[in-house]
Amino acid sequence: MGRENPAAEEALCLLRSRLCDPNFIFKPLSDSPDSNYSKLKFMISSSITEACNNSVLLLGPRGSGKVAVLELVLRDLLLEYPDMISVIKLSGLLHSEDVCAFKEIARQLCVENQLLFSKMASFDDNSQFMIAMLRECGLAHKTIVFVLDEFDLFAQGKQRLLYSLLDAMQSVTSQAVVIGVSCRLDADQLLEKRVRSRFSHRKLLFLPPSSEDLQRLMEHILSLPIDSSLPQDYAVEFNAKLQNVLADKRFKVIIDTYMNSDSTANHLLGFLFRAVSNMKLENGFLTLENFEAALSNVQRQPKLESLKDCSIVELYILVCMKRLEVKEQNSYNFNSMMKEYKSIHDSLRTPDYYSRSVCLRAFEHLLQRELISFTDKRGQNQSVEFHPVKLLVSFHELHQGLKSYRSCPAILQKLMAG
Amino acid sequence: MGKEESPQVTRRTTRSSSSAANLDNVAEKTKAKDPPPPTLNDLLFGEEKPITLDDLLSSFPGRRVQILELLRILGPVNCPMLPVFIYGGTSTGKTSIILRIFAHLNRPFVYSSCLTCYSPRILFESVLDQLLLHRKSAANGYSSAKRCERPSDFVNFLREALTSILCNLQGNSGNLRSKKLEGQANGHMIYLIFDNLELVREWIKSNTMLPFLFNLYDILKMPEVGVIFISNTSPDTYYSCMGYVEPTPVYFPDYTEDNLRQIFMRNQSNKKLYSSFLDIVLKPFCRVTRRLDELSTAFSLLYKKYCEPLSDQGIVPNEDMKRRLFSQLQPHIASSLNEIFRVISLPSAEVGATKKPKRKDTTRKSGGCEVPDQLDFHMSTSAKYLLISAFLASRNPATLDASLFDSTGGSDSRKRKRKPSEKSKEHKETAEQESLMKGPGTFPLERLLAIFQCITSVAADEEEQENDGLGIQAGDNSLMSDVLLQLSSLCNASLIVKGGSCPLDGSTRYRSTVCEDMTLQVARSLKFPLSKYLYRG
């Protein structure tokens, strides 16, 4: 692959590594003075210079670049104030338990300050160590920045971590910033009263980029640098072709359909990643077809796909279940489905009539495909035939699926309709 | 292929690596000697030399689009990638293709299946063991390299292990840029593959595990790590535990009829003959299932049947012979369609032995339900009676016990049944509906024992009449011996299951899972008039 055109391969690698690097992507969105980047940077740097405590919540939908912007800010501040900041990062997914969280804080503090970390330290030891470290750092005019990713998960349980963090920040000796990152807009409402009263209630809202921003972002990500190891004429040609694609009406339609469901930046990245992967290395340019292919790759209709994978018997079972639901039978299982199947066969003489055992296995396949499921998880010792089941596809989807099914028996369509 | 014995390759003997090697005849060299100390190359697929793209494509007919798509996503050497989510039905080649792709690319990867690693701890430790090049052996007491249970510890260890591995890889590629060693890893990316991800949803901690796994890439923040998920179910079945940005999806559809034909035609010695065989069987079978694993078991038996009249297996069939063979096979197709899913323990001996659909058993656990005609039940007489009485207790309403088993009451109940009014008919319909829904009823132990006593005494009476009072008490005695023991062994065979306990008196209730056909067979073997005692709506 790609031995034909080393420049194209290099370009592809460059684009892909850009797409996988959130810091690069959110750089241009943080230029303007009223961006979240500037606000956040101002806030943290002022608390560093004025040696005060602070806390802030970064809120916004998943994939809107909260962590990426925060990382950018922290990276720049670390350059600006070397030796004055130490960053402790926790994630709600990993450290939502208090014991775990304190241990991780102690571990990271030890690493930062070249201390020996004891794995055997107890919860109390660790929390006392943290308080002591906060005081020491305060005396040394060193700010500790706590980043709590998935902040809402820390609010489960007793919130001991949040309380001791925010409580420690009430004293003048400590010097720390707590930054919570969450995609729950009501994250501060989850806090207990004693915690909420100690929280500063500063919030930064991250909104999905506007369409102009999106356009700028795509240009920023996809165009190649002119002054790099890439051959210059290739880069210029690549950029010119890219501009053509970006300006194309059809491209706008593609982007609009894709961004309709979710207009965050990370959502766009997934799409661009597929498009860039689709790039043909032989000619080495991004074309409109790449984006079209990416759209069909990314936008999937899983239920319709699995309907297409079904065999005829499985479709019969689905249609029988649909008919039972139309009859308003409030709960049904394999046996009642078989009764319906048999009655259909008796009245219409379908060519596809199989024995009970075959149907049972087909039924199990459907369960595996998750087109149907048991209505309740209880009573597992009861056998499959007697378990009440329900359809997981809507009638409309089933209808759609039958229509698009290759060589679907006409009789099934008829049964489905009436 | 003796590679299962060789510990050196067992790390990579996944279901598909063995099957894929089977398909390709690229058998690995087995080494009988002691395994060498693990090296970085253990993270490769473990082939002598990488397979070519053409080999890869030709070994998976009908999967060209998916293979190319995956190769595009994985990209050229040392290209970072976003997480990928591969999904598609069972036996569509997801795992084997991704593993073969890595054999082709010759890049290091870590494969762990959530099927064998059935809890977070085992999953974490398996990943770490592979990364730390740790091999469980008698010397280390078959323990893992690191003990870690929590995701937080796992991430720390993982980051450590990955950094050291990546350092090594980078060092390697730096040193050996000029002369590429055979079997040397390509590039300095490492890929983590998680197979059977759908099973994680059933784990106890699934609501934290799934977001964690899906977010692993973002948590690690290492562009040199690629994460690949393989799942049987589509991404929308994970929505209930949302909390992550969706990975980019790759879909493996089920094989079409043409694909199946291509697959079955591979490695056939007599292609013409097999093709004419497929002409007959493929179409009807595809209406029932398109799953490769099920079809191949069914076809292997049918093909033997098909070839039976032929003396020479290498013969090229002409039209006439095809017709003859077709008429020969035709009756078998229908029957085999109906028993397509039967699990056959002795394939060669049992071909065509049973024509009746046998998979009418109730629970999947109870494989013991499938008893071919000609085999006798290896059960004692009392166990058989117990089985019958359990069946009766499950099917008959408890209120009718007295009338059914009392010799005088029997006629009474029949009289009552004779006048079906409109209302009772309606009643009957709903009752039928209910019985369809509810399945066999539950019963307490006392009722089972009472029925058991009744029917055994009847049997003993009959025996008495036959023997003219010779074995007066003998039959009864033998039948009543250790009934409770028999009951527990029937429970173990899950012919009878323990249901929930009664909410009022707290005693355990039982339920018979045996189907009517089988009970009838049991009754026949005892010459017991089952139908006389069975209440029918």
Is it the case that residue A29 has pLDDT exceeding 80? no
Residue A349 CA to chain centroid, in angstroms?
A: 50
With residue A372 as reference, give the H or E element that holds it. strand A372-374
B225 → chain A, closest CA residue: A20
B268 shares a domain with B245: no
The proportion of chain B whose per-residue pLDDT surpasses 70, expressed as a percent, equals 69
Average pLDDT, chain B: 74
Q: Which chain B residues touch A309 with a CB distance below 8 Å?
A: 89, 253-254, 290
B333 shares a domain with B211: no
Is it the case that residue B503 has pLDDT exceeding 60? yes
A273 → chain B, closest CA residue: B82
B153 shares a domain with B283: no
Residue B293: CB atoms within 10 A of its CB come to 10
Residue window 145-184, chain A: list those with CB within 8 Å of chain B: none
Domain boundary pick from B252, B285, B312: B252
pLDDT tens string A272-302: 999 999 888 888 888 899 999 999 888 888 8
The proportion of chain A whose per-residue pLDDT surpasses 90, expressed as a percent, equals 22
Q: Please answer yes or no on whether A267 and B245 come within 8 Å at the CB atom.
A: yes
Domain boundary pick from B252, B278, B303: B252
Q: Please answer yes or no on whether B437 and A388 come within 8 Å at the CB atom.
A: yes
Question: Is residue B42 one of the residues assigned to a domain?
Answer: yes
The whole-angstrom separation of Cα B388 and Cα B391 is: 5
Is it the case that residue B455 has pLDDT exceeding 70? yes
d(CA B285, nearest CA chain A) in Å: 9
Question: Is residue B520 one of the residues assigned to a domain?
Answer: yes
A1 → chain B, closest CA residue: B76
The whole-angstrom separation of Cα B455 and Cα B449 is: 10
d(CA A309, nearest CA chain B) in Å: 5
The whole-angstrom separation of Cα B534 and Cα B392 is: 7
Q: Which chain B residues touch A91 with a CB distance below 8 Å?
A: 219
Q: Which of B212, B342, B363 sits opposite A93 (nearest CB)?
A: B212
B110: which strand partners?
B192
Q: Please answer yes or no on whether A1 and B76 come within 8 Å at the CB atom.
A: yes
Q: Which chain B residues touch A26 with a CB distance below 8 Å?
A: none
- The better pLDDT of the pair B320, B462 is held by B320
Give residue B173's pLDDT: 65
> Which of the four pLDDT bands, split at 50, 70 and 90, describes residue A177?
very high
Q: Which chain A residues touch B150 with a CB distance below 8 Å?
A: 94, 97, 100
pLDDT tens string B295-340: 888 888 888 888 887 777 667 777 787 788 888 787 777 777 766 5
B502 shares a domain with B465: yes
> Which of the four pLDDT bands, split at 50, 70 and 90, describes residue B470?
very low
B197 shares a domain with B338: no
pLDDT tens string A111-124: 988 888 888 888 89
Give residue A28's pLDDT: 78
Q: Which of A2, A302, A352 sits opposite B235 (nearest CB)?
A: A302
- The better pLDDT of the pair A391, B46 is held by A391
Domain boundary pick from B206, B234, B252: B252
Comparing B9-23, B265-279, B419-433, the range with the smallest average pLDDT is B9-23
Question: Is residue B2 one of the residues assigned to a domain?
Answer: no
B300 shares a domain with B172: no
B193 shares a domain with B229: yes
d(CA B387, nearest CA chain A) in Å: 18
Is it the case that residue B423 has pLDDT exceeding 90? no
Give residue B472's pLDDT: 44
Q: Which chain B residues touch A331 with a CB distance below 8 Å?
A: 437
B392 shares a domain with B283: no
User: Which CATH number fits the domain that encloses residue B245?
Assistant: 3.40.50.300
Average pLDDT, chain A: 87
Mean pLDDT confidence for A69-98: 90
Give residue B227's pLDDT: 93
Is it the case that residue B18 has pLDDT exceeding 70? no
pLDDT tens string A377-418: 665 556 777 788 888 899 999 998 998 888 888 888 888 886
B266 shares a domain with B194: no
Mean pLDDT confidence for A220-226: 89
CA distances from A45 to A69, A98, A172, A226, B178 (A): 15, 29, 18, 35, 49
pLDDT tens string A318-372: 999 998 888 877 788 888 888 889 888 888 887 778 888 888 888 989 988 889 9
Q: Which chain A residues touch B340 with a CB distance below 8 Å?
A: 358, 361
CA distances from A316 to A173, A305, A343, A409, B64 (A): 73, 17, 12, 10, 31
Give residue B436's pLDDT: 64
Q: How many CA atoms lie within 13 A of A112 on its CB side?
A: 23
Q: Which of A67, A107, A386 sits opposite B439 (nearest CB)?
A: A386
Mean pLDDT confidence for A181-200: 89
> Residues A149, A89: contact at Cβ < 8 Å?
yes
Length of chain B: 537
Residue window 88-147, chain A: list those with CB within 8 Å of chain B: 91, 93-97, 100, 103-104, 107
Question: Whose structure tokens read 């501009």?
Answer: A243
Length of chain A: 418
| ipTM > 0.85 (yes/no) | yes
Give residue B70's pLDDT: 93
> Which of the four pLDDT bands, split at 50, 70 and 90, describes residue B240?
low
pLDDT tens string B336-363: 776 655 544 333 333 333 333 333 333 3
B444 shares a domain with B332: no
Give residue B537's pLDDT: 57
- Pairing type for strands A85-91 and A143-149 reads parallel
The whole-angstrom separation of Cα B450 and Cα A189 is: 63
Mean pLDDT confidence for B21-46: 52
Q: Please answer yes or no on whether A311 and B286 come within 8 Å at the CB atom.
A: yes
Is it the case that residue B144 has pLDDT exceeding 80? yes
Asked whether the CA dihedral A226, A229, A230, A231 is positive or negative, the reply is positive
Question: Is residue B308 one of the residues assigned to a domain?
Answer: yes
Give residue B297's pLDDT: 82
B220 → chain A, closest CA residue: A91
Question: Is residue B425 one of the residues assigned to a domain?
Answer: no
Q: Which chain A residues touch B235 with a CB distance below 8 Å?
A: 300, 302
The whole-angstrom separation of Cα A98 and Cα A386 is: 45
Question: Is residue B1 one of the residues assigned to a domain?
Answer: no
Q: Which domain holds residue B329?
A: 257-359
Q: Please answer yes or no on whether A339 and B288 come within 8 Å at the CB atom.
A: no
Phi, psi of A414 (to 5 degrees): -65, -45
Does residue A341 sit at the B interface (CB-CB below 8 Å)? no
Mean pLDDT confidence for B377-406: 80
Question: Is residue B368 one of the residues assigned to a domain?
Answer: no
Give residue B491's pLDDT: 83
Residue B84 CA to chain centroid, in angstroms?
A: 26
d(CA A196, nearest CA chain B) in Å: 24
B241 shares a domain with B172: yes
Is it the case that residue A170 has pLDDT exceeding 80? yes
B209 shares a domain with B70: yes
Mean pLDDT confidence for A198-222: 88
Give residue B355's pLDDT: 35
Name the residue among A150, A152, A185, A154 with its Cα closest to residue A60: A185
Does residue A296 sit at the B interface (CB-CB below 8 Å)? no
Mean pLDDT confidence for B477-498: 75
Is it the case that residue B234 has pLDDT exceeding 50? yes
Give residue B414's pLDDT: 45
> Residues B383, B528: contact at Cβ < 8 Å?
no
Q: Which of B75, B223, B340 sits opposite A358 (nearest CB)?
A: B340
Domains of chain A by range and CATH?
A: 6-18+213-298 (no CATH), 31-205 (3.40.50.300), 304-417 (1.10.10.10)
Q: Please answer yes or no on whether B82 and A21 come within 8 Å at the CB atom.
A: no
The whole-angstrom separation of Cα A87 and Cα A145 is: 5
| Total domains in the fold of chain B | 3
The whole-angstrom separation of Cα B81 and Cα B217 is: 10
Give residue B500's pLDDT: 65
Residue ranges in B289-380 assigned as alpha helix (H): 292-307, 319-338, 347-350
